Amino acid sequence: MTTKKMVFVDTSLCTGCKACSVACKAWNDLPAEKTKLITSYQSQDKTTPTTWTYISMHEKYEEGKMYWLMFKHQCYHCAEPACLQACSSDAIHKTESGYTVIDHEKCIGCGYCVQNCPWSVPMVDETKHKSYKCTGCIDRVENGLKPACVATCQPGALQFGERDEMLKMAKARLAEVQKTNPKANLYGENLMGGTTYIYLLQDKPEVYGVPANPTTPVSLTLWKSIIHPLGGVAVGGAVLGVAAGCFANFCLGNYRDRARKIAEPPHEKGGH
């Protein structure tokens, strides 16, 4: 029986080495791409169709001292993904282990997943007309292996296992870190139904450039939950109305009379 998995990201241990990003590209056979200096040692500021995870670096200054805050970005594989709800071709589905996966045989590159993800994770390849993002290394996970990023993390900032075990580990680690840093907090446990990647942060989420309370766009909720179903009811009502009208006409003999008139030859006017 497949069980829910989780990746615990302990940002207090992350050194920003970027080995996770390299491992992701190596395992998924993703090409390198030209980058640019964003800030300090950071050279990537968003995911792309060929970069599914990257590290952002944030400098903090307190009491005359500077220290780093690192954050690993990728798909969060939330339990209630807006991308799945927005997909117009049913190309996105959830796995039993908790991952959100795109079926590229069905994907048409419409970009609705890009527009509605609160973290702006999926990206459309304009050449292939397909949307791409982190797969969670589902091919490895379903064969008893750790995700590539977790397997390569040297400082132990990434841990992988059963969801309940990882949550227990994350909360124990949080209690330890809060002894010296009261601002430390967990990010993801209850967001978007609960994410498959849970983070121990050393400061507020906004400091890392991520939303504190990501939500499904109201416009998407209105469309999927109210407008679209009502449209279906309206269309169904219209079809039923047409069918009822046809049946009534049949019962009244309107179609039969019309058919008889068409079949009868016209009467000639005038005398013999």
pLDDT band at 232 (very low <50, low <70, confident <90, very high): low
Residue 256 has pLDDT above 60, yes or no: no
User: What's the one-letter identity of residue 24?
Assistant: C
What are 192-204's pLDDT values in tens digits?
999 999 999 999 9
Residue 110 has pLDDT above 60, yes or no: yes
What are 56-96's pLDDT values in tens digits?
999 988 888 888 999 999 999 999 999 999 999 999 999 99
Provide the whole-model pTM.
0.81
Q: What's the half-sphere exposure (Cβ side, CA atoms, 13 Å) at 230?
A: 5
The pLDDT of residue 67 is 87
The pLDDT of residue 55 is 96
What are 120-132's pLDDT values in tens digits?
999 999 999 999 9
8 A C-beta contact, residue 209 and residue 119: no
| % of the chain with per-residue pLDDT over 70 | 81
Token pair of 160 as six digits: 């992988």
Kindly provide the residue ranges of all beta strands, DSSP E only, lying in the chain, ordered along the sequence.
5-10, 54-62, 65-73, 92-94, 100-102, 123-125, 130-132, 158-162, 185-187, 197-201
The pLDDT of residue 233 is 52
What are 138-161's pLDDT values in tens digits?
999 999 999 999 999 999 999 999
8 A C-beta contact, residue 86 and residue 116: yes
pLDDT band at 259 (very low <50, low <70, confident <90, very high): very low
Q: Which of 38-42, 147-151, 177-181, 264-268 has the lowest mean pLDDT?
A: 264-268
The pLDDT of residue 234 is 47
